[in-house]
A and B are shown apart, each in its own frame.
Chain A
């Protein structure tokens, strides 16, 4: 069964006004069209505001059938009682790092700046 990467491994830092957002909770939600499957995982930023996520991989017995891959990704960051829309993206293939044109994902998420388009990512996280 081929591995289908629904959300690539990623690491990065969360900053608020240039300071590490220690204890910020990052929640990744995805919706995989092929299986009509929704899922989520979460992690907490350390004292330096650093975080990492493993890749989320999907499995499908019928995944060998040709289809157009669509995975909707949304990541929110909870910090000091506020929720930030940090990441929105339509992943359109099952490869590692599709989100960053094949390059490993290392981002800085600034909670104090307006949401913007970074590559194909809508939100607060910018590729380093």
Chain B
């Protein structure tokens, strides 16, 4: 047989059998933020032994969340009552984007047509459908929303809708309505780092869409593993986080 044909056959066969993993960007692994966005997206002064933090809001440029004037009073009241009113204190699922920056890891798995994000925090999870299927109808609502995504180069873009309103965006009382829509962008920048952006839109609460950006770090495997974060009811019947994961001691 002509050696040239042999060579071409081998090359073609090699190309046809190249693993599918090589064709889709790889976000797999265990990730975590190293910031205090969960306390306040707009940043905060030094407190309780924690360093000060700048705002994580990159648009608008002044770092302030662009509330509708009519919506600010609710945020302020949330802030005043945050120690008892934060749904996270009651072990609610964290919602999106807050799930990304709770101070606990999450793990990403991928299959054709799906990206799975499993959060250690109260073992919430999201299934991101990347096969082009439609969102649920409006009026069908989930704490973690409904996620449909697609790839743009090496970035996973996730469109999240169908939210219940009973989650906050952080522990400072920043909140949303059921009209919330979040567009997330996950972009690996190295084998150890990923940039996370989320554009938040809610015409009932904010004057315009606004965007946060932060960095995620990969945790090494196999040393790292998600642990079970399961709440318990206390003697008054309220759900509380375990003490080793931020609950009352």
Indicate whether A and B interact.
Answer: no
Residues of B near any A CB (own CB < 8 A):
none
